[in-house]
């Protein structure tokens, strides 16, 4: 059963976020798991990723999954639902262009389903279609997503929280240690980060010390 506390420190990573160095990526993931991330999303996507190199792509996913299982942290796959089902991952995260959300819910059964949303209407449809949580962003400018929308700032988070008091919400985009407290104060149940951890693996321990 998915609970909003699982969103608290949500790490997202692919080899493209670590200059293509799969071993370095696995080391970063292990440290992050040891230090207490609550959720992991495998996002092998975009320039420099292993997408299309089927054998290495899948092996890297399996290695990340094995680490997550060791620490009891749910492993979600970005977009690639076939892979998520093949590996029996705990869930899938999709964007607005990745097909019908209701159909996705039907396909993955009771696995965790996360959906990126950029407006009240998109949040509403995601919730109605059975999403377990929505991802809202980018809140701040991001270096990790080439086609990211313009940053929304905290007001969008506040607006979504007011409109959907019970819905699990994770904020994403440019979140670092300095910004995290304000993001929680604006109503997020958690923060999803790529570069904060990939570029500075001590982030997780430092985040825990904030006691948010």
Other C-beta atoms closer than 10 Å to the C-beta of 52 total: 8
User: Among this protein's residues, is 69 annotated catalytic?
Assistant: no
Determine, following the binding rule CB under 6 A, whether residue 15 of this chain makes contact with ligand 3NM. no
41 is in an annotated binding site: yes
Determine, following the binding rule CB under 6 A, whether residue 14 of this chain makes contact with ligand 3NM. no
Asked if the peptide bond before residue 211 counts as cis, ω within 30 degrees of 0, the response is: no
Q: What does the DSSP assignment read for 93-116?
A: EE-TTSS-HHHHHHHHTTSEEEEE
Residue 173 · residue 148 · CB < 8 Å: yes
Alpha carbon 50 to its chain centroid, in Å, reads 18
Determine, following the binding rule CB under 6 A, whether residue 49 of this chain makes contact with ligand 3NM. no
98 is in an annotated binding site: yes
**Given the DSSP bridges, would you call strands 190-193 and 169-172 parallel, antiparallel or unpaired?**
parallel
Task: Write b or e for each residue in 154-178: b if 16 or more Cβ atoms lie within 10 A of its Cβ, otherwise e.
Answer: bebbebbbeebeebbbbbbbbbbbe
Stretch that binds ligand 3NM, among 48-56, 106-114, 137-145, 153-161 (CB under 6 A): 137-145
Determine, following the binding rule CB under 6 A, whether residue 190 of this chain makes contact with ligand 3NM. no
Binding residue for ligand 3NM, selected from 120, 148, 154, 177, defined by CB under 6 A: 148
Binding residue for ligand 3NM, selected from 196, 203, 204, 207, defined by CB under 6 A: 196
User: Among this protein's residues, is 43 annotated catalytic?
Assistant: yes
Nearer to ligand 3NM, 31 or 195 (CB): 195
Determine, following the binding rule CB under 6 A, whether residue 126 of this chain makes contact with ligand 3NM. no
79 is in an annotated binding site: yes
Residue 208: its H or E element: helix 203-210
Q: Footprint of ligand 3NM on this chain (CB under 6 A)?
A: 12, 116, 135, 137-138, 142-145, 148, 172-175, 193-196
């Amino acid at each position: 059963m998915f609970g909003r506390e699982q969103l608290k420190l949500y790490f997202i990573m692919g080899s493209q976020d670590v200059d293509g160095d799969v071993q370095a990526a696995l080391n970063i993931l292990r440290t992050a798991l040891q230090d207490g991330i609550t959720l992991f999303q495998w996002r092998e996507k975009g320039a420099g990723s292993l997408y299309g190199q089927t054998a290495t792509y899948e092996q890297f996913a399996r290695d990340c999954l094995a680490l997550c299982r060791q620490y009891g942290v749910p492993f979600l796959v970005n977009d690639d639902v076939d892979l998520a089902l093949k590996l029996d991952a705990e869930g899938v995260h999709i964007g607005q262009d990745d097909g019908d959300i209701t159909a996705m819910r039907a396909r993955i059964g009771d696995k965790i389903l996360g959906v990126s949303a950029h407006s009240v209407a998109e949040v509403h449809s995601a919730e109605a279609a059975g999403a377990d949580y929505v991802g809202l962003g980018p809140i701040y400018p991001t270096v990790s997503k080439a086609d990211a929308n313009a940053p929304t700032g905290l007001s969008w988070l506040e607006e979504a929280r007011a409109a959907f008091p019970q819905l699990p919400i994770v904020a994403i985009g440019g979140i670092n240690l300095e910004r995290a407290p304000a993001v929680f104060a604006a109503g997020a149940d958690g923060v999803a980060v790529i570069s904060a951890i990939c570029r500075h693996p001590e982030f997780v321990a430092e985040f825990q010390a904030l006691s948010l």
